[in-house]
Structure 1
Amino acid sequence: MSRSERLLALLQVLRSHRRPVSGQVLAAQTGVSLRTLYRDIASLQAQGADIEGERGVGYQMRPGFLLPPLMFSAEELDALVLGMRWVADRGDAALARGASAVLAKVGAVLPPDLRRDLHESALLVGTGPGRAPPGPALDLLRPAIRERRRLQITYEDAAGGVSRRVVWPFALVYFDQSRVLMCWCEGRNDFRNFRTDRIRQAAPMDGVYPGTRQQLLREWRRRRPDHGQSLLPETDSSG
């Protein structure tokens, strides 16, 4: 285990304890000697971690400390790189810019060894057939979800039928071959899913819909115990 990984593990253990915990317990949970533990705590305090306590009394990290981005394990760094590269390759233009900016910001504050691992990562996103069409409204749909905006959409189903709906968007699902907008449909008084590449027009309406995104998602799951199948991209849910 590298020093960075060891310090990360110690931070995670400290964050899991609500009350002061002895050095012996921390050393056992992180798999280091007591001497190394004391040295690591001093290093974290020097880097700004608000850890209170002393030898023989116990240690506790005050709430509100943000984990600095330099504290990544190898697996976490791989996950970050692969995820951001996938978004940069498969997301809409705004998400792609955001993903590239995240990697640049993280790389700017990493220590040299981890910065090298970030830039030289061998985890790549492959290209192939069946990539999802971008759809005309993704950069409008995501803010509408965040802000709980009612939307008026014009939707064309698989048979070519066109309908206008007023919906409450609460989630956006990314499949390899499509993007699916999850909504409460006012006209159908029920949940409906819409492929974003079949949304011909979308416009936000005044005001926000009642409740929260999380409440709508929980209710959808309650009504759809088979929800693993009900979001298949072949289903346009135009009924």
Structure 2
Amino acid sequence: MRKADRLFQIIQILRRSSRPVTSSELAGELEVARRTVYRDIAHLMAQRVPIEGEAGFGYVLDRRYDMPPLMLTPDEIEAVVLGVQMVARLNDAAMRNAAGDVMAKITSVMPQDLLPYIAQPAVGIKPDDVVGGDATRDTRPLRLAIREGRKLELDYRAADGTITRRIVWPVLLGYDNTHSLLIAWCQSKQAFRHFRTERILKVEILNEAIGMSRSKLRQQWQQWRDAEMRKSRGAQ
């Protein structure tokens, strides 16, 4: 790894960490000796990069530090390209369009020497001529309600054709190759439920906020999911 790439990666590692990062951790991820890390940290500090800490304790980056966001490494570029390829296979037209817009924005400002990593990446997903599922459901209201922590009123058609009206607390919109699922707390069932988005006939974002913080609701869903997985493993 070139020194310039290594210095950039050190900043990235510190930026994404919520705690001090030791020289051993940095050396392990960068695959270099600890003395190389010490020299690189000293170089960054000399360039006025606001890193605090010391050997044996760990290093942190001042959260106010701003770095141009498109100084991407080849690995990061290819990770973005792979992600866009995956999103392009989803049954969600809005998300596919958004992924295409992201790729166009990145390409328009990418230095010439990095463009080949976009045009001819070393990664790719298995070719498939068919985009899975029904892409007619507009998921933007669902995602907006999740972000804003607001309740949704749904008209939902079950697998047997029964149509019900539900008020739900949306948690997450999940995807696989054939369909997408709205994961939510259902007020009428008093339980978490999965709603296939192609079966949602009508959706309205209510002015009423969900009954707790988004993080608390997500935590409760994760606990429920873990319990369901344990029950599933026990039944096998």
2:164 equivalent in structure 1: 163
1:69 equivalent in structure 2: 69
- Give matches, 1:171-182, under 5 Å: 171-182=172-183
Distance of aligned partners of 1:204 and 1:227 in 2 relative to their CA distance in 1, 3 Å threshold: farther
1:235 equivalent in structure 2: none
Q: Deviations over 1:199-229 (max 9, x none)?
A: 1111112221121233222212323413499
1:213 equivalent in structure 2: 214
Distance of aligned partners of 1:168 and 1:64 in 2 relative to their CA distance in 1, 3 Å threshold: same
* Distance apart, 1:117 and its partner CA: 1.1
Distance of aligned partners of 1:95 and 1:4 in 2 relative to their CA distance in 1, 3 Å threshold: farther
Q: Deviations over 1:147-205 (max 9, x none)?
A: 12211111111111111111111111101111111111111121111101111111112
- The share of aligned pairs that are identical, in percent, is 32
Give the number of equivalent residue pairs.
221
C-alpha separation in 2, matches of 1:215 and 1:180: 20
2:101 equivalent in structure 1: 101
1:117 equivalent in structure 2: 117
Contact residue 154 and residue 203 of structure 2 kept, 8 A: yes
Query: 5+ residue gaps in structure 1?
Result: 54-58, 231-239
User: What root-mean-square deviation, in Å, do the aligned CA atoms of Structure 1 and Structure 2 show?
Assistant: 3.7
2:40 equivalent in structure 1: 37
Query: 5+ residue gaps in structure 2?
Result: 54-58
Aligned residue identity for 1:198: R
2:79 equivalent in structure 1: 79
Distance of aligned partners of 1:9 and 1:155 in 2 relative to their CA distance in 1, 3 Å threshold: same
Distance of aligned partners of 1:144 and 1:193 in 2 relative to their CA distance in 1, 3 Å threshold: same
C-alpha separation in 2, matches of 1:218 and 1:14: 26
C-alpha separation in 1, matches of 2:219 and 2:41: 45
Q: Deviations over 1:77-113 (max 9, x none)?
A: 2211110222234253332232122223323443332
Aligned residue identity for 1:141: L
Work out whether 1:204 is the aligned partner of 2:210.
no
